[in-house]
Amino acid sequence: MKYVLMFIETEEFAKEFEAKGPAEREEAYRRVYQWFDDHRDKISDRGQKLQGRETATTVRLDGGALMTTDGPFIEGKEVVSGFTEIDVEDLDEALRMVRTWPACPVIEIRPVAEM
Amino acid sequence: MNTDDELARVVRDHAGRLAGSLVSLLGDFSAAEDLVQDAVEIALKRWPVEGVPDRPDAWLFTVAKRRGLDVLRRQQNYRSKLAAFEPPVQPPPDDRLRLIFTCCHPALAREAQVALTLRVVCGLTTAQIAAALLASESAVAQRITRAKRKITDAGIPYRIPRDDELPERLTEVLTVIYLLFNEGYLSSTAERAHSRDLVDDAEWLTALLHGLLPNEPEVAGLLALIRLHRARTAARFTPAGDLILLEDQDRTLWDHAAIAEATALLTRTAHRHHAPGPYQLQAAIAACHSEAPTWSETDWPQILVLYDMLLTLQPSPVTCLHRSIAVSYVEGSAVALAELDQLALDSYPLFHATRAQFLRELGRNAEARQADELAAERTANPAQLDLLRERLAH
């Protein structure tokens, strides 16, 4: 089954990350790359890391009118910071996989709809 | 025991097994579960009139199969699987463990886990679940439909968790059963005696789990806990249906054979495993009460030690509240009251009821009455309320 993992950053996590020195950041990235490498046989689309929430633009299509606003869809403390598609046996395998995720503290696991 | 109870028991013994086999056969949790539910509904209509068949399992299977061949018209592969399937002569391997783990999967909401377990593993109908949980039938039906959809759509597996996942997942299962037990235990009043006894289902489920996972100490602990509480059933209510507190119960009415058996199970488990878990500790506390010849001869220092161990594993204000009662017997009501007043449990009726008791023991009767009133305002359980009202009267 295919799932998309949505990596979600909290304000706290983002602040902590910003406070890190270059060497620490490097180490954090290294662990993330290592995680992707460890699970490469289950990753069907490596997806993307997204730029920060301050770069987001939200568009609302309301009866033909285009409403453009600055910022993410929901002004919340938690925002999606990246996504990856995985292909695993079932939800338990997905749960096992994210258990070792070394970065942001929240992950949403969503099955991909079959079209 | 009435006919309804007997029927419920027969259904419970067979419905879960059938569900387990059919989920394995069809590989579709939701479709298989629908067939079993239909068969159970038909059985509950026909058995009271025609009598329980000699082989209830074969009867339920035949009805479920016929129903499946009828309704699963579009799923040709399910129909051919069903058509070829005959009840095995030898009892099949017990698939109910897989069933339990699927129903209590942590990706399902707690309410959904409870409703699904009752329906799929215990074979309750939606109407029975609604009555037992004091919820509307449509709400329960919706909960179950959503949960089954999530099992299919989100890929929740029908499998026993791997060894490294088992402890976590087993905790989840035990939480669901403990919730059922509590729900049943607290609402078991005389006026609700006609409705489904969830305590019975909780004990049955734990015994089933204990049979399937005999080396899990916390399963044994929960089983002992439930059995120790149930052993006091005959002494818990007056003939009029009013609740009798543990300290006022006629201990000769307790089922002492059941107490001895549950205590022996607890001791055996403690010998085999070090570091008891929360259910074993709670059962040990219940065993202390059960073994005391009178309330005043209760081994309070021992109970206090057990509460301290429990709080180390599972800090909780409600456990602190219970502990404070032991404190009042070991160190006096003033110390107990001081500890109680540290707890943020204003919405919890037993907090105020316990506070009232300590205040009364300290001769602060006006404050005690106020606390009793606060307790009465916060309870929905008729038996508890009666008890508190009775106290307010004098």
Q: Which CATH architecture has domain B316-394?
A: Alpha Horseshoe (1.25)
pLDDT, tens digit (0-9, with 9 covering 90-100), for A67-108? 888 888 777 788 899 999 999 999 999 999 999 999 999 999
* Pick from B63, B58, B65: nearest CA to B85: B65
Chain A residues close to B107, C-beta within 8 Å: 91, 95
Nearest to B157 among A92, A109, A111 (CB): A92
- Asked if A111 and B161 come within 8 Å (Cβ–Cβ), the reply is no
- Asked if B153 and A89 come within 8 Å (Cβ–Cβ), the reply is no
Nearest to B153 among A94, A109, A111 (CB): A111
Gap between the terminal Cα atoms of chain A: 13
* Pick from B246, B98, B114: nearest CA to B174: B114
Residue ranges per structural domain of chain A: 2-111
- Cα–Cα distance measured from residue B73 to residue B76, given in angstroms and rounded to the nearest whole number: 6
Measured between CA atoms, the residue of chain B closest to residue A1 is B155
Residue ranges per structural domain of chain B: 1-90, 94-187, 316-394
Nearest to B156 among A3, A91, A96 (CB): A91
Contact B197, B114 (CB under 8 A): no
What pLDDT tens digit does each residue of chain B (394 aa) get?
456 778 888 999 999 999 998 998 888 999 999 999 999 999 999 999 999 999 999 999 999 999 888 887 777 778 888 877 776 655 566 789 999 999 999 999 999 999 999 999 999 999 989 988 888 999 999 999 999 999 999 999 998 999 999 999 999 999 999 999 988 876 655 455 445 688 899 999 999 999 999 999 999 999 999 999 999 989 988 888 777 888 899 999 999 999 999 999 999 999 998 899 999 999 999 999 999 999 999 999 999 999 999 999 999 998 999 999 999 999 999 999 999 999 999 988 889 989 999 999 999 999 999 999 998 888 766 666 666 666 655 4
**A100 at B interface, C-beta within 8 A:** no
| Chain A nearest CA to B315, separation (Å) | 24
* Pick from B31, B32, B39: nearest CA to B14: B39
pLDDT, tens digit (0-9, with 9 covering 90-100), for B120-175? 999 999 998 998 888 899 999 999 999 999 999 999 999 899 999 999 999 999 99
3-state secondary structure of B275: coil
Measured between CA atoms, the residue of chain B closest to residue A109 is B154
Which pLDDT value is given to residue B274? Answer: 81
DSSP-assigned letter for residue B118: I
Q: What's the complex ipTM?
A: 0.86
> Within 10 Å of residue A62's Cβ, how many Cβ atoms?
8
C-alpha count within 13 angstroms, C-beta hemisphere, residue A47: 20
To which CATH superfamily is domain A2-111 assigned? Answer: Dimeric alpha+beta barrel (3.30.70.1060)
β strands within A50-87, DSSP E = 57-62, 65-70, 78-87
Beta bridge partners, A62, equal: A65
- Asked if B155 and A96 come within 8 Å (Cβ–Cβ), the reply is no
